[in-house]
Amino acid sequence: MPSLPARIERLFAAAQRQLRAGKTDEAAQALLEVAALPGIEHDEPLALESAHAGLADIYLKLRRIELAEYHLGKALAVSPQEADLHHRLGELRSYKGEFAAAAEAFLRASELEPSHPGHLHRLGWSTFMAGEQKKGRAIMAEALTLDEANTALLADLAVACSELGDHRAALKYLDQAVDLDPGNELLRSQRERMREKTERTKRDR
């Protein structure tokens, strides 16, 4: 009988072939077989984590959100110190509109990888969307000090500032974003709308 590592390798290879062929159900079945192998949790925990993380990716692409969240939870049960898994859980919860729960996941990712701009960006945005707008803005501003060329972060900060009534700061962030990516029509459109809003605010004073 093949060894456990050999069976794991064979099933992962089968899953990759099925994914390349666009057969997601068959790929998921191969990964489920990996996760069900006797002794894998004790002898090959990283393979078990990879199987569950792979299943989460497949089910997320298929919009089977509850299954994706279930398998991310299984992966985290094996590797609770893996910041990327917490980040992915946060993204999934954000997709579901569960921003407070998403913020908890991004916070854990940030605790495991301090000063990571991606974790802080998403923590700030989910905190903002959960209703703590000033706190969310402050966290995103901290993230910007670590990743000043991130146009997506600049755009999110602009939204946060605008919602808080600070149109001047919002326009400043959008100016920075357009300077970094002058060909981005969406950013240019956002900046023009913000300029109009800023001018209206000046006239109304």
* Domain spans of the chain, in order of start: 1-80
pLDDT-derived band at 204 (thresholds 50, 70, 90) equals: low
Among the four given CATH numbers 1.10.580.10, 1.20.1250.20, 1.25.40.10, 3.40.50.10210, the one describing domain 1-80: 1.25.40.10
pLDDT-derived band at 205 (thresholds 50, 70, 90) equals: low
Give the percent of the chain with pLDDT over 90. Answer: 94
Burial class (CB in 10 A: 0-12, 13-18, 19+), 88: buried
- Give the pair of three-digit tokens for residue 25: 């159900």
The per-residue pLDDT for 127 is 98
The per-residue pLDDT for 197 is 84
**pLDDT tens figures, 84-122:** 999 999 999 999 999 999 999 999 999 999 999 999 999
How far, CA to CA in Å, does 97 sit from each of 72, 159, 189?
17, 17, 26
Q: How far apart are alpha carbons 168 and 133 in whole angstroms?
A: 17
Q: How far apart are alpha carbons 142 and 148 in whole angstroms?
A: 10
**pLDDT tens figures, 134-178:** 999 999 999 999 999 999 999 999 999 999 999 999 999 999 999
- pTM assigned to the model: 0.91
